[in-house]
Structure 1
Amino acid sequence: MNPPATVRSGIDRMLDRARARLNRVGPDDAAAEIAAGEALLVDIRPAAQRAREGEFPDALVIERNVLEWRLDPLSDARVPEATGPDVRWIVACSEGYTSSLAAASLLDVGLTRATDLEGGFQAWLRAGLQVKGGAPEGTP
Structure 2
Amino acid sequence: MSAVDSYLAEARAHLRRVTPEELSAIKGGDTLIIDTRPIHNRLAEGEIPDSIPVERIVLEWRLDPEGDHRLPGFTAGTTVVVLCNEGYSSSLAARDLQRIGLPKATDLIGGFRAWAAAGLPVREGGTQAIT
Fold-level match, TM-score > 0.5? Answer: yes
Aligned residue for 2:128? none
Match of 2:109 among 118, 121, 131: 118
Bigger-Rg structure (1/2): 1
Deviations 1:44-101 (A, max 9, x none): 111111111211111011111111100112111100023x211110001010001000
Identity of aligned residues (%): 50
RMSD of aligned Cα (Å): 1.1
Partner of 1:58: 50
Of 11, 17, 35, which residue of structure 2 is paired with 1:18? 11
Q: 1:38 and 1:124 mapped to 2: Cα distance?
A: 20
Bigger relative CO (Cα 8 Å, ≥ 6 apart): 2
Count of residues in correspondence between the two structures? 125
SS state at 1:28 partner = helix
23, 34, 38: which is aligned to 1:42?
A: 34
Partners in 1 of 2:30 and 2:101 — Cα distance?
A: 18
Distance 1:97 1:91 in 2: 10
Q: Does 1:27 align with 2:20?
A: yes
Q: Secondary structure at the match of 2:8?
A: helix
What is the CA deviation profile of residues 85-128 of structure 1, one whole-angstrom value per residue up to 9, with x for unaligned ones?
11110001010001000000001101110000000001101110
- TM-superposed deviation, 1:133: 2.2
1:3 alignment counterpart = none
Instruction: Determine if the alignment matches structure 1 residue 91 to structure 2 residue 82.
Output: yes
- Contact 2:34/2:54 (8 A) holds in 1: yes
Matched-pair contact (CA < 8 Å) for 2:86–2:111: yes
Contact 2:34 2:53 in 1 (8 A): yes
1:75 partnered with 2:72 = no
TM-score when normalising by structure 1: 0.85
